[in-house]
Amino acid sequence: MMQALCNQKHRLRDLFLDGWGIYCHCFVPLAVILLLCNGLDQALKVLLIKAFDAPFKLAEFLGSFASLAGMLSVLVITIESVSGHHVKWTECFRKIRRFFLKAAWVKMIVSIIQSLVGLPAILLVLNKDALDVPVKLFTILEIALMLPFLWISVSLLFSVYAVILREKSGIDALFHSWRLVRHRWWYVFMTVFLLNLPIFIFTMAEQLPWWHVGELGYMGVFNVAELVKTILGGYSTVLITLFFLNLDSVAPQKLIDEPKA
């Protein structure tokens, strides 16, 4: 299957079909790991906030490492399946242990860069009342200041993927992602948006009024919704992993059909 990915062109439909095939084939290990990591993430947040009275942002930051472990697990299982290997739990955990600190470091660097680039937009929102500018002008300024954040986020999107799939580390992983995206930023942005569309639609549907059926019913709906989002998130990660493998194989020969200018 790896050879097929490297020798034929892949359209968006092919990515969805290939991703669905891998997801169904490896559903049990993927679901088990994703649910464990999601449960650990939620447990850490509850424990830190309620037991130790930790700030929410700190609890969210520490809990994100459990989410990172889930993401790395999906990457490892996907690449093993694409390579035609039988997914072994021991091999999966060995690779996660090997790359976890490198991936966490890269993710932290990306988060710091995103925070610095997005700081002007945050300061603008915080000082909205003091500026006393028309709503339309404020909206234009806010969008203009958010564009650099969006650009850097997409440009560094594949940094963690490069750690696992190309064994890059630190700044090399960031530059690998940037070089991969720089000449086709809009194409990557639109493709990733479409690959994440299922989870985006479900998240929007979750906010509809008909979900709210009393406190007890709401808690049940919330738990089911979190479960579905976890499963959909795993599928999206599989799709983006395949997209990364395709993009990273285009030089010097194009692998994915890109829209002509």
Structure confidence by residue, pLDDT tens digits, 198-227 = 788 777 766 666 555 555 566 666 667 777
Gap between the Cα atoms of 154 and 110, Å rounded? 11
Cα pseudo-dihedral 229, 230, 235, 241, rounded to 10: 120
pLDDT score at 10: 55
Contact 178, 156 (CB under 8 A): yes
pLDDT score at 176: 92
Q: Could you please report the per-residue DSSP string of the chain? A: -HHHHHHS-B-HHHHHHHHHHHHHHTHHHHHHHHHHHHHHHHHHHHIIIIIS---HHHHHHHHHHHHHHHHHHHHHHHHHHHTTPPP-HHHHHHHHHHHHHHHHHHHHHHHHHHHHHHHHHHHHHHTHHHH---HHHHHHHHHHHHHHHHHHHHHTTTHHHHHHHS---THHHHHHHHHHHTTSHHHHHHHHHHHTHHHHHHHHHHTSGGG--HHHHHHHHHHHHHHHHHHHHHHHHHHHHHHHHHHTT-SSS--B-PPP-
Tokens 């037991």 sit on residue: 51
Series of mean pLDDT values for 10-residue runs along the chain (261 residues): 46 83 83 78 67 58 74 82 73 81 88 84 75 76 86 91 86 90 90 84 68 59 74 86 83 39 39
Gap between the Cα atoms of 153 and 159, Å rounded? 10
What is the Cβ-side half-sphere exposure of residue 54, based on CA atoms within 13 angstroms? Answer: 16
Crossing angle of helices 12-25/27-46, nearest 10°?
80
